[in-house]
Amino acid sequence: MSIQRRTFLATLGGSVAASTAGCLGSFTDDTAEGAITGEELTLTTTTSTYDTGLLDEVNAPFQDRFGVTVDTVSQGTGAALQTARNGDSDVVMVHARSLEDEFISEGYGVNRRDLMFNDFVIVGSADDPAGIAGMEAATDALETIAETESMFISRGDNSGTHTKELGLWDAAGVEISSGGEWYLEAGQGMGEVLTQADQQGAYTLADRGTYLSMRSDIGLEILVEGPVEGGPEALMNPYGIVAVNPAVHENVSYDLAMAYIGFITGPVAQEIIEEHTVNGEQLFFPESLSENPNFDQYVPEGWRNEENDADE
Amino acid sequence: MMMWLHTLSALLPTFPFEWNYVRTIIEVSLYVSVTAVLISTLLSLPIALALGFTEFRGKRAMTAIITTGMGFPSVVVGLIVLFTVSNQGPLGSLNLVFTREAMILSQIVLAAPVITGVSLAAVSSIDQNVHDAAYVMGGTRLDVALVTIKEARYGIATAVLAGFGRAISEVGGVLIVGGNIAGPDGTSKTRTLTTAIQLEARQGQFELAMILGAILVVLVLVVNALVLRLGDDGDRGGVRGR
Amino acid sequence: MTGVITARDVTQCYDTDPVFEGVDLSVQSGEVVALIGPSGVGKTSLLRLLALFEPPSDGTITYDGVDVWAASESQRLTCRRRLGMVFQDQSLFDASVRRNVEYGVHVRKPWPERLRRNVADFFGSKNGTGPAVDALAVVELEDAIDRSADSLSGGEAQRIAFARALAYEPDVLILDEPTSDLDPRNTDLIEQAVLEASRRDIGIVMATHDMNQAKRIADRVGVLLDDGIIELGPTDQIFEHPRDDRTRQFIDGELIY
């Protein structure tokens, strides 16, 4: 099953347009429909989950089953978590474990679940001026880019990808704050950064999903693979989902948030994730269903150990 | 007003993109911007008339504030409105974040100074004789204000159009407070032409982005033509020349 | 003797300089009072006081014995609605002649009727009201009713401005040099209209710098000179036997300002 969002919508859209008679009728209909169930769930998430069309495919059956409208706001991990901190969203789906842990530790988030993963890849133009193609370790590749001062474009937007990239530079021992003109911060989403890197012949770190969804439009190639294709574990890109703590923000729709988390980590949605493809390629790998659940997913990483240390 | 959208959809059976998606985006754009401009006009005209007619302390300062507001960056307005309507903000209890109402609020803040500023210039350019004539024929203050509005109608129409142009073409404010939300079936909730263009460009869907851009330009042109036409017919009673 | 409108011991100052001081002037129904005097002497300021644009710095203005500026807001509006004024400069609304001439009648109607009328107009109803057609006839412009104001010549515009003031049948007309920029024919038409207005028992105060015009149509003439009305009397007397030597000098063109 590989329904392309656009074609799927084109079919649907045609019939809706044909059946809508009044001028502003569709507005009032929308509102009325929302008012009957009276339920809206606000999900703040990253651009990668939304732009790949995954959420449209997951949310449609959720809305059908629960009669709940999911308002998806795609922002970037940092902004998504901040919106949730302000109590302006009910549930957050992001991909930066360190930031998620911070969010939970501060008391804003509860009931975190591992959702799915894919991986990051280092992409660049085919002529590969720094010569990083095929390197085993991501850190080696970044070190080489820094040494040769080949142009690298960073998201620079406090997103999950940006957080991961900064961690990798750190691990590679490269001080990018003292970097030169070769290191550019775009402050933009993944799509824009890939387009920029393509136009300027630069390297960048991209999540595989967004890269695959755009590969046909750009000339960038994968130079260092992620773990999905046998690359280093350091390029792992795990997505988590967290409900906003109703004890901190009493206005949030906690029960709907938990229903959503239950649905998206359940068999139906996990299968949709498994089968979601763009240009024939699988973008995300479901991670929620396991006979031996990883208990670490519910709490900040290393939390139990700290407690044990304190007890001893 | 939106009948032509449906007519257009009938004319375009081979439209290459999902029509429901495009149509609802246009509807949200028009709904938000038209509402914001109507409210802004109701707020702005009395202010412009008051500023144009009366002398008081602080008038210069107020005019300066309005002029500054005309060029206020939309992202800053978006942020301020977001803080205001956010759950933690003063209007938090109204739950306006990521709604069309919040977008309208943001666009009012953007459009009102433009409408006030341009209307003020139009109202100030009306000859004192005209006010005097309305007054001496027995007009009350309200009558004089109405006559001034009528006399300045082209300038005010320009003001409203400038406000509409600013509202419908800004992206920063509506993106921040609206969240650019569309449902899985492609029905826009808070996605406007501008935020959709940004999103489609981000996703590399440049063709759709260009089409949305063209629709935006056509929309602004059509609204301009309609408003100017209305201004011409509304109170033109007489036959020119003889 | 008190008239329809009376200014008593009126002083008007701008900043602290008095424009004129201690002016007494009264206008009866049906009489034409001409105000003559050199430019800059305050004729317009005096007329604006009579037209109730602003209160005088000192003194009183009364309409039929009512002290206008001591009266309530609504009484003052009633007084205001008994007068009309024609300005020296073009002051027509950018609309049809019909709307211009009907304006005074229009604002006197209650709001529901005004709104109904506006809606009817929007859909093209063109029922002329009696007073408007009649007033246009006085200035011989009945045919202009459907023209737009900006298609009129200067003389026609001024005649429309006169008709506009006449249309709501005021008790007093205040004319501020209405013919100063007009050709002889339009001047004559305005003068005839002034006389027609006086036959309708309207009291008229008209500022003019044209001595012959004053002789032609005024019953009484006031001479505004040196901070006040130095002489006020029947037209013949002012021109033939002025009591004040300055009046004689002004009339003979000996006073150079």
Q: What number is the ipTM of this complex?
A: 0.89
Instruction: Report the distance separating Cα B135 and Cα A52, nearest Å.
Output: 65
B128-136 vs B141-151: helix crossing angle, rounded to 10: 140
Would residue C257 count as lying in a domain? Answer: no
**Average of per-residue pLDDT values in chain C:** 88
Give pLDDT tens digits for A143-155: 999 999 999 999 9
Residues of A (22-61) whose Cβ lies below 8 Å from B:
23-24, 26-27, 30, 42, 47, 51, 55-57, 59-60
Instruction: Report the distance separating Cα B95 and Cα B68, nearest Å.
Output: 30
Give pLDDT tens digits for B48-59: 998 888 778 888
> What is the CATH code of the structural domain delimited by A120-235?
3.40.190.10
Instruction: Report the distance separating Cα C73 and Cα C67, nearest Å.
Output: 12
Give pLDDT tens digits for C187-200: 999 999 999 999 99
Phi, then psi, of B214 in degrees rounded to 5: -65, -40
Q: Quote the tokens at residue C240.
A: 């033939």
Instruction: Report the distance separating Cα C236 and Cα C215, nearest Å.
Output: 8
Confidence bin at A43 (pLDDT 50/70/90): very high
Q: Quote the tokens at residue C49.
A: 């006081």
Name the DSSP class of C13.
Answer: E
Fold of the A39-118+236-301 domain: D-Maltodextrin-Binding Protein; domain 2 (3.40.190)
How many Cα neighbours within 13 Å face the side chain of C78?
A: 11
The SS3 call for residue A69 is strand
CB contact under 8 A, B179 and A71: yes
Are B175 and B184 in contact by the 8 Å Cβ rule? The answer is: no
- Annotate A148-215 with three-state secondary structure: CCCCEEECCCCCHHHHHHHHHHHHHCCCHHHCCCCEEECCCCHHHHHHHHHHHCCEEEEEHHHHHHHH
Confidence bin at A36 (pLDDT 50/70/90): very low
Q: B134-150 burial string, b = 16+ CB within 10 Å, else e?
A: bbbbbbeeebbbbbbbb
Q: Quote the tokens at residue C13.
A: 């100052």
Tell me whether residue B191 is exposed, middle or buried, using C-beta atoms within 10 angstroms of its C-beta: 0 to 12, 13 to 18, 19 or more: buried
Say whether A120-235 and A39-118+236-301 share the same fold: yes
- Annotate C171-221 with three-state secondary structure: CEEEEECCCCCCCHHHHHHHHHHHHHHHHCCCEEEEECCCHHHHHHHCCEE
For position A35, what pLDDT does the model report? 34
Give pLDDT tens digits for C148-179: 998 999 999 999 999 999 999 999 999 999 99
Task: Spell out the domains of chain B, with CATH numbers in brackets.
Answer: 17-233 (1.10.3720.10)
For position C256, what pLDDT does the model report? 57
Residue type, C232: L
Rg, Å, chain B Cα set: 20
For position B28, what pLDDT does the model report? 95
Q: How remote is the C-alpha of B228 from its chain's centroid? A: 15
Would residue C256 count as lying in a domain? Answer: no
Interface of C with B (CB under 8 A): 51, 53, 77, 80-81, 83-85, 87, 89-99, 103-104, 107-108, 121-122, 146-151, 161, 164-165, 168
Which residues span the domain enclosing C136?
A: 5-251
Are A111 and A190 in contact by the 8 Å Cβ rule? The answer is: no
CATH of the domain at C165: 3.40.50.300
What mean pLDDT is predicted for residues C56-76? 91
Are B174 and B82 in contact by the 8 Å Cβ rule? The answer is: no
Contacts of A98 (CB under 8 A, 6+ apart): A163, A167
Chain C meets chain A (3+ C-beta pairs below 8 A): no
CB contact under 8 A, B127 and C91: yes
Q: Closest Cα of chain B to C250: distance in Å? A: 30
Question: Within a 10 A sphere around the Cβ of A231, how many other Cβ atoms?
Answer: 22
What mean pLDDT is predicted for residues A20-27? 37
Rg, Å, chain A Cα set: 21
Model confidence, pTM: 0.78
Give pLDDT tens digits for B2-29: 555 655 555 454 455 688 899 999 999 9
For position A16, what pLDDT does the model report? 37
Instruction: Report the distance separating Cα C145 and Cα B108, nearest Å.
Output: 42
Are A129 and A148 in contact by the 8 Å Cβ rule? The answer is: yes
Are B178 and B154 in contact by the 8 Å Cβ rule? The answer is: no
Question: Which residues does chain C have within 8 Å of residue B142's beta carbon, measured at their own beta carbons?
Answer: none
For position C6, what pLDDT does the model report? 92
Give pLDDT tens digits for B86-128: 988 898 888 889 999 999 999 999 999 999 999 999 998 888 8
Instruction: Report the distance separating Cα C15 and Cα C56, nearest Å.
Output: 13
A88 vs A7, residue with greater confidence:
A88
CB contact under 8 A, C107 and B143: yes
Give pLDDT tens digits for C69-128: 999 989 999 999 999 999 988 889 998 898 899 899 888 888 888 888 888 877 766 655
What does the domain layout of chain A look like in residue ranges?
39-118+236-301, 120-235
Question: Within a 10 A sphere around the Cβ of B187, how many other Cβ atoms?
Answer: 24
Are A164 and A85 in contact by the 8 Å Cβ rule? The answer is: no
- Beta-sheet pairing, C83-86 with C32-36: unpaired
For CA atoms C121, C127, C129, C134, the dihedral sign is: positive
Determine which of C98, C106, C148 to mutate to test the interface with B (most B C-beta atoms within 10 Å).
C148
For position A285, what pLDDT does the model report? 93
- Number of domains forming the structure of chain C: 1
Contacts of A137 (CB under 8 A, 6+ apart): A232, A234
Rg, Å, chain C Cα set: 19
Taking CA atoms, C170 is separated from C71, C179, C195, C202, in Å, by 20, 20, 15, 7
Phi, then psi, of A177 in degrees rounded to 5: -65, -25
